[in-house]
Chain A
Amino acid sequence: MRFTRTKAVLAVTGLALSLAACGGDDGGPDIEVEAADNLTGVAKELSDRGSIKIGVKYDQPGIGNLEPGSDDPVGFDIEMGKIIAGNLGIAEDDIEWVETISDNREKYLQDGTVDLVIASYSITDERRQVVGQAGPYYVTGQQLLIRKDSEGEINGPDDLANVKVCSVEGSTSLQRVEDEYGASPVPFGTYSECVDQLENKTVDAVTTDGAILLGYAAQNPDELVVVGDAFSEENYGIGYKKDAEGMCEFINETLEESFDDGTWEDAFQATLGGDDVETPEVPELDPCA
């Protein structure tokens, strides 16, 4: 059993390598599938196993999103997952995507349901007590999306007192506008539902990370606009089981490589990027403990 699986993996890896040479048909970056040669600990185990389970979001356009009817999620987090897996010698087809929501990311890492979490997972000290978080691979900040007809009335977070502000339930963004700026929070299941409520004038602002909002503003530039500077800093990190030996070093090395050889930039351009969006500077990685 073990042998056949290893053989199959080798075959698939070879196939993926030859396909990768043809260039990214899906618009994503060309990701090299070859195990790094200095793997240790858990990273080595994963590489030997030849498959990996990655927890991602299914409801965040541009970040991690499963379109109705399609089999695999797409987004920046997904591309990062492919880059990490590629450096373990694991091809795209051997990655099992698992939907994680904000509530179960730590649990899934702790009980081994997933090997990695790449799910717009902001690095915080609190979370680092229970799981490992390497990175950041992306730094973003919270902004506001409003209707053009309220331009001038809402210029930034300080104008939000008692304003109905929509975001996804249980998100840090919604919490911040409520706790720090006195907004009246409106939780919905997804960002697109929030944008609907903004367009039909039932709420007056939508808030989350700027990159996501820019995407919605680009879809409807006549009516919607992103205002104000970012008023928070979110450092997206890659979650792994706490104390997993070798993981942090391996992830940081992989990220560093992707920053240098341009795959990171390609991944950004193919997902969050667009005509109006500049690719940000590469983030500075936190050193491994």
Chain B
Amino acid sequence: MDVLLENWRPILQAFGVTVEMMLAAGLIAMLVGSLLAAMRVSPIPLARAFGTGYVWTVRNTPLLVIMVLFAFGLPEIEVRPELNLNSWLGLETSHRLLNFNVFFIFATAALGLYTAAFVCEALRSGINSVHLGQAEAARAVGMTFTQTLRHIVLPQAFRAVIAPLASVLIAMTKNTSVAVGVGVTEATFMMRKLTNDNATALIAIFLGFALGYMVLVAIISAIANFLERKVKVA
């Protein structure tokens, strides 16, 4: 117990990295996933084929393989993105949470693009749950494909996908821990660091970190519950 209390600052910082990764990867996953879902239901054969191909490839590849591919493949072609917000914001003291190094960016991009395939499928199942007659009616009153999707289908589909989307994002949150193997100093990294140093408090450390992840997941669940109640049809 003492170990956790004494190290609360570095632990909090490590969970900060996890949260950053979760938010950034979540954003990528939602954007790319929505785009893919639109492609998969679009009338353009090429777009449909691309969407199907993406989901098929990415969903059938283990996450660690994708992360390793990014972390070892991209430097070979001289791609090493860094984003240091400290210098960008002109801060005097450098804060580690504002310095996104190459490994954070690789792992986050990999996690986001991986999760996008699952987001796409969750959204597509939602879209499929909207009766075809709805889309036909929209087209009959002269709406374009984009308008039909935006005003008629997606608002109804959204209601059906909240629960599966929350599951996807929860899985993604826990998947951030895979990144410790490709150079990211997130929460699991801190846990390994503490367990190596404190042989007498292993169980307390494990439970403490498990609790940390549970809190993050609980926040996602709470947001999902809130949204579900909000868009419920009476």
Contact = CB atoms under 8 A, between A and B. Distances in A.
- Interface SS of A by simple majority: mixed
A193 B192 CA distance: 18
A175 interface: yes
B75 A201 contact: yes
A200 B196 contact: no
Contacts of B8: none
B183 A130 contact: no
Considering the complex of A and B, which 6 residue pairs feature the smallest CB-CB distances, nearest first? A170-B192, A200-B75, A186-B183, A189-B181, A202-B75, A170-B196
Q: How large is the interface on A (under 10, 10 to 19, 20 to 34, 35 or more residues)?
A: 20 to 34
A175 B193 CA distance: 7
Given A164-B101, A187-B183, A170 B195 contact: yes
A197 interface: yes
Given A130-B199, A187-B192, A203-B183, 10 more contacts: A102-B192, A126-B199, A184-B101, A186-B101, A188-B182, A193-B72, A197-B72, A200-B76, A202-B75, A202-B102
Contact of A102 (B75, B101, B182, B195): B195
A169 B199 contact: no
Most B-side CB within 10 Å, residue of A126, A171, A201, A202: A202
29 contacts: A102-B192, A102-B196, A103-B196, A103-B202, A126-B199, A129-B199, A129-B200, A130-B199, A130-B200, A164-B101, A166-B183, A170-B196, A174-B193, A175-B193, A185-B185, A185-B189, A186-B103, A186-B185, A187-B181, A187-B183, A187-B185, A187-B189, A187-B192, A188-B182, A189-B182, A197-B71, A197-B75, A200-B72, A202-B71
B93 interface: no
A197 B200 contact: no
B199 A106 contact: yes
Contacts of B184: 187
Interface in B175-214: 180-185, 189, 192-193, 195-200, 202
A126 B200 contact: yes
A172 B194 CA distance: 10
B143 to A, nearest CB: 50
A106 B197 CA distance: 12
Interface in A183-208: 184-189, 193, 196-197, 200-203
Given A200-B76, A202-B80, A188 B197 contact: no
Nearest to A189: B181
A106 B202 contact: yes
B181 A188 contact: yes
Interface of A: 102-103, 105-107, 124, 126-127, 129-131, 162, 164, 166, 169-172, 174-175, 184-189, 193, 196-197, 200-203
B75 A188 contact: no
Interface of B: 71-72, 75-76, 80, 94, 101-103, 180-185, 189, 192-193, 195-200, 202
B101 to A, nearest CB: 7
Contacts of A106: 199, 202
Contacts of A102: 192, 195-196
Contact of A188 (B183, B193, B195, B199): B183
B101 A170 contact: no
Contacts of B195: 102-103, 170
A175 B229 CA distance: 46
A289 B197 CA distance: 23
B101 A175 contact: no
Contacts of A175: 193, 196-197
Most A-side CB within 10 Å, residue of B76, B180, B193: B193
Contacts of B196: 102-103, 170-172, 175
Contacts of A129: 199-200
Contacts of B192: 102-103, 169-170, 187
A83 B40 CA distance: 63
Contacts of B71: 197, 202
A175 to B, nearest CB: 6
A129 B197 CA distance: 13
B72 to A, nearest CB: 6
A131 B199 contact: yes
Nearest to A171: B196
Contacts of A174: 193
